[in-house]
């Protein structure tokens, strides 16, 4: 093999074999079918001499050059960066040019950055290490004007190399940046994990476009994972959004956008399709108001997906519940009575949910309750008229045929849950004739109230008499009990110690009869002059008497115990100091 150079412009010709050169010049290897090897080489030497003389071409055997490995074409995404791979032998410096027929526009020059063309300033760099033979070029912020440009690398441009690097160019093809693509599940069950992917194609593996999500606020505990994948010289950057989905996200939109250097690309909208049981069930009346005895249509609306396939209706009247099953969301009810309530249970493929009891708020004409009355106390008449009605009724009074109440009468009313109570009071006679009339928009009702006589003054007199009699009886009983208690209390003998008086019953002494006589006598014993001003007898100190009785009882118990044991001698006499 040989590399052939021209002396005029050092143009590097295509390396060919001698055989190919002979064929291009129209030479043949011989006129006869057989040539010897000696004849062949002699012809070759003569040919070389001829070429040297005629064309001035010098053939340099095995001239050493730079072997550069670059692709013919690279694809760049607008707004991204583009990488032009370049590999050769270890070198000290590399310089990149844009191919031009007559000029040498500089694309990258680290040593002289001011010589870089205006359209490439601040956008180009070389990555990798020259010592490793890496001469890769990176162009940032790819623009439409970069389309179809050709660039080439010059290795060690300061050396005296005669190699023509511009013959090995790389064409940059610029394509428009596409919007990111978003993908997610077709259907998501309430409470399951939502997983959405947002992918964007770019040409800058070191700096992919930043992705931004627009998602529902109801997505809980969301996380984002990212990964890249090479695809035919380009890169696919993907972010995966994960989070727990809730039924509130149904029919909400989710998008993502990719931020390039000078613009933003937005994905298409994706609408979430959540599957969940009926979470809210409400009842709606087709018409209002509802009157007693009429018909009404109730609609059952359920927030769920898929829609309900069955409805269970419950009707409650006077404590009794009637159950009806239907596939329709609207149900007519006939012969409505007061205090009627309706409930609906909606069923779908995921589960069921029920509404609250709906009070139909039935309206009806006034009804005067049996509790209404009139009482005449002395010459004061008081009447109460209780009316049940919805809407609330108005009460009118008629006394002795007069629709207007006398000025001496007072009137007021109270209202509690569709029950109106009207009260009047004033001076009247026992033969007064009283009527109560109640009316509302649905009708009226009138009732004559009979007057009941009541003499509260005589009743009060008898109550006072009974109270006085009770107090007299209670006082007399108290006196009798006190006198009886005074007679039954024990009395001590004058001039004798208390211990002797208390012990005498135990020892059956001769003094016992005297003490008993003294106790049975109603007379108060005479006072002892020696103890004047102190405690002279049991009447003066009940506490001392009680203590003495307790001590005497204790001595009696001891004596009884000794007698039971067969001891015949009496116990020693106890003296009180």
The burial of 467, by beta-carbon neighbours within 10 Å (0-12 exposed, 13-18 middle, 19 or more buried), is given as: exposed
Find, among 65, 62, 63, 59, the residue nearest to 44 by Cα: 59
Residue 319 pLDDT: 87
Nearest-5° angle of CA 522, CA 525, CA 517?
A: 55
**How far is C-alpha 247 from the geometric centre of its chain's CA atoms?**
12
Query: Cβ distance 151 to 107 under 8 Å?
Result: yes
Q: What are the average pLDDT values for consecutive 10-residue runs of the chain, which has 577 residues?
A: 31 36 38 37 46 36 67 95 95 94 93 94 93 95 95 90 87 95 94 96 94 91 92 92 94 95 94 96 90 94 97 94 95 92 97 95 93 88 94 92 88 92 86 90 92 62 80 84 68 42 38 39 40 40 62 74 57 40
Q: How far is CA 544 from CA 328, 530, 552, in A?
A: 96, 18, 12
Q: Are 290 and 361 in contact (CB under 8 A)?
A: yes
pTM over cut 0.75: no
Between CA 345 and CA 356, with CA 350 as vertex, the angle to 5 degrees is 25
Three-state SS string over 444-463 comes to: EEEEEECEEEECHHHHHHHH
What is the three-class DSSP state of 433?
coil
The candidate with the shortest Cα–Cα distance to 336, out of 324, 323, 318, 354, is 318
Query: What domains can you pick out in the chain, each with its CATH number?
Result: 68-175 (2.60.40.10), 181-272 (2.60.40.10), 277-360 (2.60.40.10), 364-453 (2.60.40.10)
The end-to-end CA distance of the chain, in Å, is 156
b/e map 138-175, b = 16+ CB within 10 Å: bbbbbeeebeebebbbbbbeeeeeebebbebbbebebb
- CA angle (176, 180, 185) in 5-degree steps: 155
Which residues is 564 bridged to in the sheet? none
Q: What is the model's pLDDT at position 539? A: 41
152 sits in the region (left: phi over 0; alpha: psi -120 to 50; else beta) called: beta
Per DSSP bridges, beta strands 380-390 and 188-189 are unpaired
CA–CA distance, 36 with 33 (Å, rounded to integer): 10
pLDDT in the model for residue 429: 67
Residue 124 to residue 139: CA distance in whole angstroms? 5
Rounded to whole angstroms, the Cα distance separating 108 from 120 reads 8
The predicted pLDDT at position 318 comes to 87
Query: For the chain, what is the radius of gyration of the CA atoms?
Result: 63
Count the alpha carbons within 13 Å of 285 in the hemisphere toward its beta carbon.
16
């Amino acid at each position: 093999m040989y590399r052939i150079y021209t002396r005029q412009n050092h143009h590097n010709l295509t390396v060919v074999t001698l055989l190919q050169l002979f064929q291009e010049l129209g030479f043949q290897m011989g006129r006869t079918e057989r040539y010897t090897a000696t004849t062949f080489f002699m012809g070759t030497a003569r040919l070389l001499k001829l070429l040297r003389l005629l064309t001035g071409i010098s053939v340099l055997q095995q001239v050493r050059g730079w072997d550069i490995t670059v692709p013919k074409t690279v694809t760049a995404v607008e707004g991204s960066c583009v990488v032009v791979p370049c590999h050769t032998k270890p070198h000290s410096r590399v310089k990149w040019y844009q191919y031009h027929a007559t000029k040498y526009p500089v694309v990258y020059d680290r040593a002289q950055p001011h010589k870089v063309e205006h359209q490439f300033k601040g956008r180009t760099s070389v990555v990798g290490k020259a010592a490793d033979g890496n001469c890769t070029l990176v162009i940032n912020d790819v623009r439409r004007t970069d389309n179809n440009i050709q660039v080439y690398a010059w290795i060690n441009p300061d050396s005296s190399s005669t190699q023509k690097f511009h013959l090995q160019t790389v064409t940059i093809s610029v394509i428009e940046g596409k919007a990111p693509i978003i993908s997610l599940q077709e259907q998501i069950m309430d409470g399951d994990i939502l997983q959405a992917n947002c992918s964007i194609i770019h040409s800058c593996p070191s700096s992919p476009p930043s992705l931004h999500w627009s998602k529902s606020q109801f997505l809980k505990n969301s996380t984002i994972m990212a990964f890249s994948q090479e695809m035919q010289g380009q890169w696919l950057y993907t972010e995966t959004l994960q989070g727990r989905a809730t039924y509130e996200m149904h029919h909400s939109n989710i998008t993502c956008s990719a931020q390039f250097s000078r613009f933003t690309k937005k994905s298409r909208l994706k609408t979430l399709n959540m599957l969940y049981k009926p979470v809210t069930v409400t009842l709606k009346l087709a018409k209002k108001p509802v009157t007693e005895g009429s018909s009404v249509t109730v609609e059952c609306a359920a927030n769920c997906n898929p829609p309900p396939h069955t409805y269970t209706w419950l009707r409650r009247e006077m404590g009794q519940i009637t159950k009806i099953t239907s596939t329709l969301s609207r149900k007519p009810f006939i012969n409505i009575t007061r205090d009627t309530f309706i409930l609906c249970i909606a069923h779908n493929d995921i589960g069921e949910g029920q509404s609250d009891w709906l009070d139909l708020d039935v309206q009806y004409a006034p009804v005067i309750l049996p509790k209404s009355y009139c009482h005449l106390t002395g010459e004061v008449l008081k009447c109460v008229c209780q009316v049940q009605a919805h809407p609330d009724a108005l009460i009118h009074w008629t006394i002795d045929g007069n629709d207007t109440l006398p000025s001496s009468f007072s009137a007021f009313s109270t209202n509690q849950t569709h029950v109106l109570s009207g009260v009047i009071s004033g001076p009247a006679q026992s033969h007064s004739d009283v009527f109560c009339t109640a009316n509302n928009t649905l009708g009226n009702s009138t009732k004559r109230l009979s007057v009941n006589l009541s003499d509260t003054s005589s009743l009060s007199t008898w109550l006072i008499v009974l109270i006085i009699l009770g107090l007299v009886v209670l006082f007399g009983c108290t006196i009798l009990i006190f006198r009886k208690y005074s007679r039954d209390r024990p009395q001590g003998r004058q001039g004798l110690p208390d211990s002797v008086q208390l012990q005498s019953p135990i020892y059956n002494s001769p003094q016992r009869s005297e003490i008993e006589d003294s106790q049975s006598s109603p007379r108060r014993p005479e006072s002892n002059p020696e103890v004047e001003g102190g405690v002279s007898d049991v009447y003066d100190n009940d506490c001392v008497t009680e203590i003495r009785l307790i001590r005497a009882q204790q001595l009696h118990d001891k004596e009884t115990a000794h007698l039971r044991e067969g001891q015949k001698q009496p116990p020693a006499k106890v003296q009180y100091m």
